[in-house]
Structure 1
């Protein structure tokens, strides 16, 4: 694959946008992965290379949340361990990814999540002090979320947030605090699986990572400063945009 300056610059810019969207909601990879496919990378290679940017983004995000006083590493780590188990198996499926049915399935899942979130079905008041409930169920569900993250990555944040918010009762700022730590850990696992099975485009990955790092910092800062109102808006927009793209394009 020929490395041209415009490709590197485009991936850097896409990384900033993707990182910001990923931290506030999820689905940012729907920008970066198709761009790499457009540049000529095979699907599994683009899927694996994208993980480099995700890791950089979440390093920046976890650091920013911590510096602003938001952290619960004990819960984050236990959820990340469960997600990593799922990510290992998901990534082993993802290296062989082909076809469009996974996109249609994801679109239906996204629309279902959107309806649940907007209608308030099953909603209980979130604990503003960060105390989680339904710990066992939450950990079990994160095995499934990790599988999807290892499999395709796209939209995994849109799956994590409802688990943390609806099932475990955390406010959306703390949801994002945990989400970025969990994604950081299971993305390391999935990248290792992809690197062992496909040829990662490291130069493109590092260009994407530079943008993702900036986007992750901006996203975490926005989440803390603007709170739930901004997160909900970005979350809903990301869900709709992703579902429309997967179903019709």
Structure 2
């Protein structure tokens, strides 16, 4: 029964994570509530995210929504940001990390009301100072703390005038990049409970494919309201964890 629940958690969290980020709103609290040790829960999440995020990226790549030429450089930039974030995390307090996470998400929430763009852009992702700095900064945040990384990335792609379905593909590639190294680390240190991880991963694979197909049909005008709801939920979750 536990594995069926994990499968359902994987489907639900990854469907949400593919559409608007914030999959961690569901899977990590649920796994901890089930009594899975925190390091094993995070390890399972990283392994399943590595596989599921690549599957949704590959689906959109195969359909021609995105190209390797346009997006390959996301990988080293995101990995570099994640490594930098991990380094910074070892030198600041947990309290400061919570404050920083809430501040970033709150700023993203406010900024979402300022622009009139609604993911209907037709620009291609360019290797520029703004895009590299934005992706590297979000990579730092992911390595530093994590929750809301995908959501912040979608805000960035909207600012760069990238169409929603292509933004989803690039966000999933960045998620794959940032989770890959972490997954290897958790596997190498023996923190991964494989039965738990496989159940979550199978659900996440299904959720990634469901999410990417919904994303193809989601009207751009509906994306920002969904992002805002996820952002507010993330702020409340992080704040609640800090208070408790």
TM range (shorter): 0.7 to 0.9
Tell whether 2:156 aligns with 1:157.
Answer: no
Q: Scaled by the length of structure 2, what TM-score is found? A: 0.86
Q: How many residues were matched structurally?
A: 241
Native 8 Å contact 1:223 1:231 kept in 2 = no
State the 1:236 CA deviation.
1.5
Given the alignment of the two structures, is residue 49 of structure 1 paired with residue 71 of structure 2, yes or no?
no
| Structure 1 partner of 2:205 | 213
Q: Please tell me whether the aligned partners of residues 44 and 95 of structure 1 are also in contact (alpha carbons under 8 angstroms).
A: no
Deviations 1:194-231 (CA, angstroms, capped at 9, x unpaired)? 33346122221111111111111111111111232343
What pairs with 1:104-183 in structure 2 (closer than 5 Å)? 104-120=99-115, 128-132=121-125, 135-166=128-159, 168-183=160-175
What is the CA-CA distance between 1:184 and the residue it aligns to? 1.3
- Could you tell me which residue of structure 2 aligns to residue 81 of structure 1? 76
**Match among 9, 22, 45 for residue 14 of structure 1:** 9
CA RMSD of aligned residues (A): 2.7
TM-score between the two structures when normalised by the length of structure 1? 0.84
Contact 2:122-2:161 within 8 A present in 1 as well: no
- The 1:9/1:202 distance shift into structure 2, 3 A limit, reads same
Unaligned runs of 5+ in 2: none
After TM superposition, the structure 1 stretch with the greater mean CA deviation from structure 2, 79-88 or 214-223, is 79-88
Task: Please tell me whether the aligned partners of residues 130 and 174 of structure 1 are also in contact (alpha carbons under 8 angstroms).
Answer: no
* Aligned counterpart, 2:225: 233
**Structure 1: gaps (5+ residues):** 1-5
